[in-house]
Amino acid sequence: MGIPIIGVVVELGKLVAKGVIDHFRRKQELKEAVHKNRVRLALTQGQYDHEWEMKSLENAGWKDDILFYTIVAMYIYSAIDPDGAMKVFKNWEMIPEWFRTITFWVIASVIGVKKLGDYLPSAIAGIKQAIKAVADEKKDNFDVS
């Protein structure tokens, strides 16, 4: 019973590690794209366009990352200090409904569109591998030669 669970935990750990590695790889690719674009635009005569494009490329994503990691930190805080997290959520209930609704949709769009698109394919692949590993292990345990 314990071995299949360990296999699933190991596969999920691999999945998380792969997601983090992929995230930093994409950040590095963005830096390289910014550099290549900077060189390309520097060779053109549109200096005003160059400055605007470079600022928009350099600022892409950092606000989304802050929001994403804040949400992750709240989950971690909830696991460490459930009573303290409950106080935060009680205070959240005092905020007007319209503000909570707008905030929810902003968070959902950032995490749902950007981060879910970043991590979901790897998560699905990792879960499939974990299920297959458990199924293969059960098959080997029941295989009598």
For 13-50, give one letter per residue: b (16+ CB within 10 A) or e: eebeeebeeebeeeeeeeeeeeeeeeeebeeeeeeeeb
Domain ranges of the chain: 2-142
pLDDT for res 15: 74
Distance CA 76, CA 82 (A): 10
Long-range contacts made by residues 105-110, C-beta under 8 angstroms, separation at least 24? 106/67, 107/67, 107/71, 110/64, 110/67, 110/68
How far is the C-alpha of 57 from the C-alpha of 31, rounded, in Å? 9
| Number of C-beta neighbours around residue 145 at 10 A | 2
**pLDDT tens for each residue of 84-114:** 989 988 988 898 999 989 988 887 776 666 6
pLDDT of 83 reads 92
Give per-residue pLDDT as tens, 21-47. 887 888 888 888 887 877 776 666 555
pLDDT value at residue 111 = 66
In whole angstroms, give the CA distance from residue 74 to residue 85. 8
Confidence at residue 99, expressed as pLDDT on a 0 to 100 scale? 92
